[in-house]
Chain A
Amino acid sequence: MRRMLLEGLFRRPVTEGAPTIADAEIEALAERLGVAAKARLGRSLSIREVDAGSCNGCELEIHALNNSYYDVERFGLRFVASPRHADVLMVTGPVTANMREGLERTYAATPAPKWVVAIGDCAAGCGVFGKSYAVVGAVSNVIPVDLVIPGCPPEPIDMLKGLVGLIEASARG
């Protein structure tokens, strides 16, 4: 272990530079959020992930945000265990009938101001599962959605751009 730690001191970090996001995108997002949250949140957001029916593909890529390449915490983004600690809900999956109440209760348990980010094509529009008796709809059919990050699954870098944009926007808002 000592050798690995020592190596860690001398090797260059694998963590990559911050993604670039167009100013206009941030302005648009800030306008859309329209909440004066800066005073309360500063430049940090706590995120609670909710799987409302996903195939687990999106979860894998959300996990990847925590690895050393993306290192999401350096941007002030932190995944938390309880909706009570969260500013942002990241929701994946087409909302299944069996998860609808779970999602609604998680949303209700999150203190305001709060934002909902729908992650992936299923969360955005049910993906390939739209025609099923067991699916109630996209996330926006159940709770208000502030930001959609499409993809099947979206790549970590796309999610990072979206979330960093959200921070910037909330700081300006």
Chain B
Amino acid sequence: MSTLRTALLNAALTVEEQKPWPRITVDADTWRQATLAVAAGNATLSGLWAEPGAVHMALLDDDDGSLMVLTLLASDGRFPSVGLTHPPAQRLERKIVDLYGLIPEGMPDDRRWLDHDRWGVRAPLGSSAPASADGATYPFLKAEGPPLHQIAVGPVHAGIIEPGHFRFSANGEIVVRLEERLGYVHKGIEGLLINTTLEAAAKVVARVSGDSTVAYSLAFARAAEAALGVAVPQRAVWLRALMAELERLANHLGDIGAICNDAAFALMLAHCGMLREEVLRATKIAFGHRLMMDCIVPGGIATDLHDAAPILALTMHIRQRFPRLVELYDNTASLQNRTVSTGRLLPELARRFGAGGPVGRASGRAFDARKAPGYPPYGDLDFKMIKREDGDVDARIWVRIDEVYESLELIEQIVDRLPAGPIAYPLAPALRERKVPQAGGLANEPRDSASEGLAMVEGFRGDILVWLRTDETGHVLRGTVRDPSVFHWPLLEAAIEGNIVADFPLCNKSFNCSYSGHDL
């Protein structure tokens, strides 16, 4: 991507004040060329979002993890569609249409996505025109052939899970097409990030997806700190990583058990469920909250770790119990019969969609935001990036199993080398002393007072992207988040094709996409 990056930088109309990676404004031609480069695989599309009058596209270099944001001013309310040549962008563009009313020219799918005709308003973050709230029927895609039948599932599902609708077209037991309809838990998070305080925005972002609250808070804090140019004490940096690994550990343990349970192997769920509970109890003792919600704040962390003994006792306990469960999984042929070769995600698709986390790494995409772009303290820690090539349910389980061991390793290293000192610097004096940057902001905002930050953090599902614009006092002007599930959901549709309907829960759980993180 480095040649692409140079070409784009040369073609930039203006370079904006965004840290730590540049944001450049380009013309429509350069936007189109970038789109073609992404479609050709020269860079990975990592995000696509809008604000009134402009669209932004984040490009990721898979090799060194460097990011770049391209901005196109859409003064006439239109911009060249990215989804036209690069399908992973399609749902993001449909979201832009629904929320901002900007039109991607040539977009192949013009059905509404998050807008179910329920808000009583059209383009709520754009022109905000009144509309009916009666609900609209959604035209699902067709699958043709005489023996096909449809199965409709959701939005209220049978288990204790988030809502969404799945429409299967099946030939007997074989799934010919799965189409998802999402957006049921759309809470208007981007709207809540417009013109608000840093504290309020941090609380909202911590609740984008409750299972990844640590990763989201970390990404938000890093974006805010980059934008405002404030430093974080070392002890906070290390404790943040400790929280992030405890969260990963708890979620991976839960997922491994839950996937096996969907193959009717309840014993694994029972045992993994106990281990997960033990992680949550240790985090409650260590940081005062089972999920560590709001424990990471811009500038540092909210609660210090006073005694690491319960955490070390926890890792020792898991090291004792977990290998037996792995052995059980490995030696149970009836379970393997369900997971091996089921729900295969092709490496080429995983690469094209920039699939992060265990889903991508189980299909050969060697990307982990902790390695590249990387963020402290992971550069000082010793851990392996787990990768498999098979791309089936079994591979996704094994990636999680191996990552449990890596997280245990990381937790022990962090506790062992935890630096002493303060856990947060007060933000207010830092902001007062800060030099006001010379460029930044768009259109109707004063150019010399806004600054922007971008951060990528590896959550348990994959890379989370947070972008933020603040004024010089730290007031949030605008922000957006991108969950890894945005790119996982369409891949689930691809992975289930040709499998039997009964294997859908298994495939679905092995992806474990977030509904709330997608719907925002």
A67 and B187: CB pair below 8 A?
A: no
B124 and A14: CB pair below 8 A?
A: no
CB within 8 Å of A: which B248-296 residues: 254, 267, 270-271, 273-274, 276-277, 280, 290-291, 293
Residues in chain A within 8 A of chain B (CB atoms) = 1, 3-4, 14, 49-64, 66-69, 79, 81-83, 93-94, 96-102, 105-106, 127-129, 131-135, 152-153, 155
A51 CB contact (under 8 Å) in B161, B254, B332:
B161
A-B contacts, 18 of them at CB < 8 A, read: A1-B331, A3-B324, A53-B184, A55-B209, A56-B210, A56-B211, A57-B211, A57-B213, A58-B210, A59-B161, A67-B273, A67-B274, A82-B158, A97-B118, A98-B118, A133-B120, A133-B124, A135-B187
B270 and A133: CB pair below 8 A?
A: no
| Interface footprint category on B | 35 or more
A97 vs B117: C-alpha distance when bound (angstroms): 9
B274 and A49: CB pair below 8 A?
A: no
Q: Which residues of A contact B254 (CB under 8 A)?
A: 60, 63
A84 CB to nearest B CB, Å? 12
A100 and B118: CB pair below 8 A?
A: yes
Q: Which residues of B contact A135 (CB under 8 A)?
A: 187-188
B207 and A55: CB pair below 8 A?
A: yes
B277 CB contact (under 8 Å) in A67, A79, A128:
A67
B210 and A55: CB pair below 8 A?
A: yes
Given the known interface contacts A59-B160, A133-B191, the answer about A68 and B183 at a Cβ–Cβ threshold of 8 Å is: no
* Total residue contacts A-B, CB cutoff 8 A: 147
CB within 8 Å of A: which B469-520 residues: 514-516
B203 and A128: CB pair below 8 A?
A: yes
Please classify the interface of chain B as helix (H, G, I), strand (E, B), loop, or mixed, using the class held by over half of its residues.
loop
CB within 8 Å of A: which B175-217 residues: 183-189, 191-192, 200, 203-204, 207-211, 213
Q: Which residues of B contact A81 (CB under 8 A)?
A: 158-159
Closest to B250 in A: A60
9 smallest CB-CB distances across A and B, nearest first, come from A57-B210, A132-B188, A81-B158, A134-B188, A67-B273, A97-B118, A55-B210, A55-B207, A56-B210
A7 vs B217: C-alpha distance when bound (angstroms): 40
Q: Which residues of A contact B515 (CB under 8 A)?
A: 56
B187 CB contact (under 8 Å) in A129, A152, A155:
A129
B119 and A102: CB pair below 8 A?
A: no
B324 CB to nearest A CB, Å? 6
A129 vs B328: C-alpha distance when bound (angstroms): 43
B133 within 8 A of A: yes
A51 and B163: CB pair below 8 A?
A: yes
B160 CB contact (under 8 Å) in A49, A94, A129, A131:
A49
Q: Which residues of B contact A79 (CB under 8 A)?
A: 160
B204 and A102: CB pair below 8 A?
A: no
Closest to A62 in B: B160
